[in-house]
Amino acid sequence: MNNSTDIEFPVELGCLGSIPRAELFSGQTAIESMPVLSRHCGGAQLFVKRDDCTGLAFGGNKVRQLEFYLGEARKQNADTVLITGAVQSNFVRMATAGAAKLGMECHVQLEARVATDSPRYHDSGNLFLDKLLGAHLYFYPEGEDEAGADRKLSEIAADLRSAGRKTYIIPLAPGHAPLGALGYVVTAHELLGQLNEMQLDIDEIVVGSGSGGTHSGLLFGLRALASDIRVTGVCVRRYADRQVLRIRESCEQIAGLLKTEPTVTDNDIVLIDDFLAPGYGVLNPATLDAIMLGAQTEGLMLDPVYTGKTFAALISRAKSIDIERSILFLHTGGLPTLFAYRDEIVQALENNEKRAT
């Protein structure tokens, strides 16, 4: 484990450098242009930050968040990490990998968030990797009961402590210190440095907004560093009227963690929920089109739950605004989930081929 004191952060980010952080990812993720997609959309100039390429167990944004959660776990001398999430959760997969890398057990509670009987959903993708990585699996029958899922996880932790384990819980519901969001405060600092080096002006960043850690951390970090880049959160779990409350609370809590003044106003919290229906983890035509377009224009692999819906919003934004503007897509990963939705994606590809002929 290292402390983030190894990195010098500006005073605007408060005590970020003194918060424990386990090193799971080193270096920076690239910012790349997307010229083919830009021409296809006929609007803004498009770029992507490749947080799908963070290395650990197929990569993704959760590595950055887990550095802070697992840093705290190590500080508490934990030997066992517990986390709850959907059957195809990227966070669960990466938590299991991160725990393994640090020599800890990971106990995983999987929630029934997506109503599907698809065998691939229940034996492929992230779930297959959870098993390969050595996760101890439990199941929770509700998909929209965050507080209940956390309570059940606490019961599992109590049983493990009775057996002599030292446990650390990564919580799901709001009301807990959003340590993981600090990973994207760090990313805001990294991103602005890259843009400066590249002499690149970005008008807008489009990012998936689910648990809210990535969205709120990035937004807080940008505003703390005096950047006015618009951050558009794309709702993938709940509709905007509820998600805005989550992002607001998280930003307030980040200020408390860093011992700084709040920097995010309600006007800064921008959310789009046009691509959420019919719900979390359920494909819609725009998302299917976005997954195929990302692959066939820029070679990007997008997942049906998060990045596919976010990319659909990116395409919509690009087609609707002035060509002089530039948008950056934060690619948060999720590649393994593609295989859990293989049948639906293959069907969409076949339908496209039939229409083409």
Q: Which residue has the tokens 């200020």?
A: 255
The Cα 268–Cα 228 span in angstroms is 9
Using CA atoms, how far residue 136 sits from 32, 162, 239, 246, 289, in Å, is 38, 17, 32, 30, 36
**pLDDT in the model for residue 6:** 59
pLDDT digits (tens, 9 = 90+) for 146-195: 999 999 999 999 999 999 999 999 998 888 899 999 999 999 999 999 99
Answer whether residue 4 shows pLDDT above 60. no
**pLDDT in the model for residue 5:** 42
The Cα 173–Cα 109 span in angstroms is 14
CB 208 within 8 Å of CB 214 = yes
Q: Which residue has the tokens 């507080």?
A: 147
pLDDT digits (tens, 9 = 90+) for 198-232: 999 999 999 999 999 999 999 999 999 999 999 99
**pLDDT in the model for residue 351:** 87
Q: What residue type is 216 in one-letter code?
A: S
Residues 6+ apart with CB under 8 A from 190: 28
Residue ranges of domains in the chain, CATH in brackets? 2-60+178-356 (3.40.50.1100), 62-170 (3.40.50.1100)
Catalytic option among 4, 89, 124, 209? 89
Give catalytic status of residue 216 as yes or no: no
pLDDT classification of 356: cutoffs 50, 70, 90:
confident
C-alpha closest to that of 67 among 187, 150, 234: 187
Structure letter (DSSP) for residue 328: E
Q: Establish whether the linkage from the previous residue to 278 is cis, with ω within 30° of 0.
A: yes
Structure tokens at 331: 């690619």
Q: Name the average pLDDT for the chain.
A: 95
pLDDT classification of 324: cutoffs 50, 70, 90:
confident
What are the backbone dihedrals phi and psi of residue 272, each rounded to the nearest 5 degrees, phi first? -120, 125
